[in-house]
Amino acid sequence: MPTRSALPGPGDVFITRQVHFNAGHRLYNVRRSRQWNERTYGPCANPNGHGHNYVLEVTVRGKPDPDTGYVLDLGDLKRIVEKAVVVPCDHRNLNKDIDFLKGVIPTTENLVVAFWGRIAPRIRAGRLHSIRLYETPRNYAEYLGPEGTP
Protein backbone atom coordinates (compact mmCIF):
# COMPACT_ATOMS: atom_id res chain seq x y z
CA MET A 1 0.00 0.00 0.00
CA PRO A 2 1.59 3.30 -1.06
CA THR A 3 2.07 5.96 1.59
CA ARG A 4 2.10 8.88 -0.84
CA SER A 5 -0.53 9.91 -3.34
CA ALA A 6 0.30 8.99 -6.90
CA LEU A 7 -2.39 11.23 -8.35
CA PRO A 8 -1.30 13.85 -10.84
CA GLY A 9 -2.58 17.26 -9.90
CA PRO A 10 -1.88 20.34 -11.96
CA GLY A 11 -4.96 22.12 -10.66
CA ASP A 12 -6.02 23.33 -7.24
CA VAL A 13 -8.56 21.68 -4.95
CA PHE A 14 -11.10 23.78 -3.05
CA ILE A 15 -12.23 22.73 0.41
CA THR A 16 -15.04 24.41 2.34
CA ARG A 17 -16.08 24.44 5.97
CA GLN A 18 -19.55 25.64 6.93
CA VAL A 19 -20.30 27.04 10.38
CA HIS A 20 -23.33 28.69 11.97
CA PHE A 21 -23.76 31.54 14.41
CA ASN A 22 -26.59 33.77 15.60
CA ALA A 23 -26.19 37.51 16.01
CA GLY A 24 -28.11 40.75 16.08
CA HIS A 25 -27.32 44.00 14.34
CA ARG A 26 -28.68 47.31 13.20
CA LEU A 27 -27.98 48.87 9.82
CA TYR A 28 -27.49 52.56 10.43
CA ASN A 29 -25.03 55.12 9.10
CA VAL A 30 -24.39 57.65 11.89
CA ARG A 31 -23.15 60.19 9.31
CA ARG A 32 -26.59 60.32 7.72
CA SER A 33 -30.00 61.45 8.93
CA ARG A 34 -32.60 59.18 10.55
CA GLN A 35 -34.80 59.70 7.47
CA TRP A 36 -31.99 58.69 5.12
CA ASN A 37 -31.30 55.56 7.21
CA GLU A 38 -34.96 54.59 7.33
CA ARG A 39 -35.28 55.10 3.57
CA THR A 40 -32.08 53.19 2.83
CA TYR A 41 -32.31 50.31 5.32
CA GLY A 42 -36.05 50.14 6.02
CA PRO A 43 -36.86 47.95 9.03
CA CYS A 44 -33.16 47.01 9.34
CA ALA A 45 -32.60 50.53 10.77
CA ASN A 46 -34.88 49.73 13.74
CA PRO A 47 -33.26 51.27 16.84
CA ASN A 48 -33.58 47.93 18.66
CA GLY A 49 -31.95 45.99 15.83
CA HIS A 50 -32.86 42.56 14.56
CA GLY A 51 -31.20 39.15 14.35
CA HIS A 52 -30.08 36.49 11.90
CA ASN A 53 -29.12 32.84 11.93
CA TYR A 54 -25.95 33.26 9.87
CA VAL A 55 -24.32 30.52 7.83
CA LEU A 56 -20.64 31.13 7.05
CA GLU A 57 -18.75 29.16 4.40
CA VAL A 58 -14.98 29.46 4.25
CA THR A 59 -13.16 28.00 1.23
CA VAL A 60 -9.43 27.29 1.06
CA ARG A 61 -7.65 26.58 -2.20
CA GLY A 62 -4.47 24.61 -2.75
CA LYS A 63 -2.74 21.42 -3.71
CA PRO A 64 -3.23 18.31 -1.60
CA ASP A 65 -0.20 17.48 0.51
CA PRO A 66 1.40 14.30 -0.90
CA ASP A 67 1.68 12.75 2.57
CA THR A 68 -1.75 13.56 4.02
CA GLY A 69 -3.87 14.11 0.92
CA TYR A 70 -5.20 17.29 2.56
CA VAL A 71 -5.11 20.83 1.28
CA LEU A 72 -5.75 21.77 4.92
CA ASP A 73 -7.16 19.54 7.62
CA LEU A 74 -10.86 20.47 7.85
CA GLY A 75 -10.67 20.12 11.64
CA ASP A 76 -7.98 22.81 11.64
CA LEU A 77 -10.11 25.02 9.40
CA LYS A 78 -13.06 24.56 11.75
CA ARG A 79 -10.93 25.61 14.74
CA ILE A 80 -9.63 28.67 12.88
CA VAL A 81 -13.10 29.86 11.86
CA GLU A 82 -14.58 29.19 15.30
CA LYS A 83 -11.84 31.18 17.04
CA ALA A 84 -11.74 34.03 14.51
CA VAL A 85 -15.49 34.54 13.95
CA VAL A 86 -17.92 32.23 15.72
CA VAL A 87 -16.73 32.62 19.31
CA PRO A 88 -16.53 36.44 19.19
CA CYS A 89 -19.79 36.91 17.22
CA ASP A 90 -22.21 34.18 18.31
CA HIS A 91 -25.17 35.50 20.33
CA ARG A 92 -23.76 39.03 20.24
CA ASN A 93 -24.76 42.43 18.94
CA LEU A 94 -22.46 43.05 15.98
CA ASN A 95 -22.74 46.83 16.39
CA LYS A 96 -21.90 46.95 20.08
CA ASP A 97 -20.09 43.81 21.24
CA ILE A 98 -17.43 43.12 18.61
CA ASP A 99 -14.21 45.13 18.80
CA PHE A 100 -13.10 44.30 15.26
CA LEU A 101 -16.42 45.66 13.91
CA LYS A 102 -16.34 49.02 15.75
CA GLY A 103 -17.40 51.74 13.31
CA VAL A 104 -18.42 49.22 10.63
CA ILE A 105 -22.00 49.14 9.32
CA PRO A 106 -22.58 45.37 9.70
CA THR A 107 -24.02 44.63 6.27
CA THR A 108 -23.33 41.16 4.95
CA GLU A 109 -20.91 42.76 2.46
CA ASN A 110 -18.89 44.45 5.20
CA LEU A 111 -18.94 41.35 7.39
CA VAL A 112 -17.32 39.10 4.77
CA VAL A 113 -14.50 41.62 4.32
CA ALA A 114 -13.99 41.89 8.10
CA PHE A 115 -14.07 38.11 8.51
CA TRP A 116 -11.48 37.72 5.73
CA GLY A 117 -9.12 39.90 7.73
CA ARG A 118 -9.54 37.65 10.76
CA ILE A 119 -9.29 34.30 8.96
CA ALA A 120 -6.68 34.78 6.19
CA PRO A 121 -3.67 35.33 8.49
CA ARG A 122 -4.45 32.08 10.34
CA ILE A 123 -4.43 29.82 7.25
CA ARG A 124 -1.12 27.92 7.20
CA ALA A 125 -1.70 25.53 4.27
CA GLY A 126 -3.26 26.47 0.95
CA ARG A 127 -4.69 29.97 0.77
CA LEU A 128 -8.02 31.52 1.60
CA HIS A 129 -10.09 31.53 -1.58
CA SER A 130 -13.49 32.86 -0.54
CA ILE A 131 -15.81 33.68 2.30
CA ARG A 132 -19.54 33.39 1.80
CA LEU A 133 -21.97 34.60 4.45
CA TYR A 134 -25.67 33.76 4.29
CA GLU A 135 -27.83 36.25 6.16
CA THR A 136 -30.94 34.35 5.11
CA PRO A 137 -31.31 31.19 2.99
CA ARG A 138 -31.84 33.46 -0.05
CA ASN A 139 -29.39 36.32 0.65
CA TYR A 140 -25.63 36.06 0.86
CA ALA A 141 -22.44 37.96 0.12
CA GLU A 142 -19.21 36.40 -1.09
CA TYR A 143 -15.72 37.87 -0.92
CA LEU A 144 -12.72 36.64 -2.90
CA GLY A 145 -10.15 38.68 -1.04
CA PRO A 146 -8.45 41.99 -1.63
CA GLU A 147 -7.24 40.96 -5.09
CA GLY A 148 -10.61 39.46 -6.01
CA THR A 149 -8.91 36.59 -7.81
CA PRO A 150 -11.01 33.54 -8.57
**Residue 135 annotated among the catalytic residues of the structure:** yes
DSSP string, 86-129: IHHHTTEETTTS-GGGTT----HHHHHHHHHHHHGGG--SSEEE
> Is 91 annotated as catalytic?
yes
CB 91 within 8 A of CB 58: no
Q: How far apart are CA 8 and CA 137, in angstroms?
A: 37
| Given 20, 50, 91, 109, the catalytic residue | 91
Choice among 38, 44, 82, 142 that is catalytic: 44
Exactly one of 38, 57, 135, 142 is catalytic; which is it?
A: 135
Active site residues: 44, 91, 135
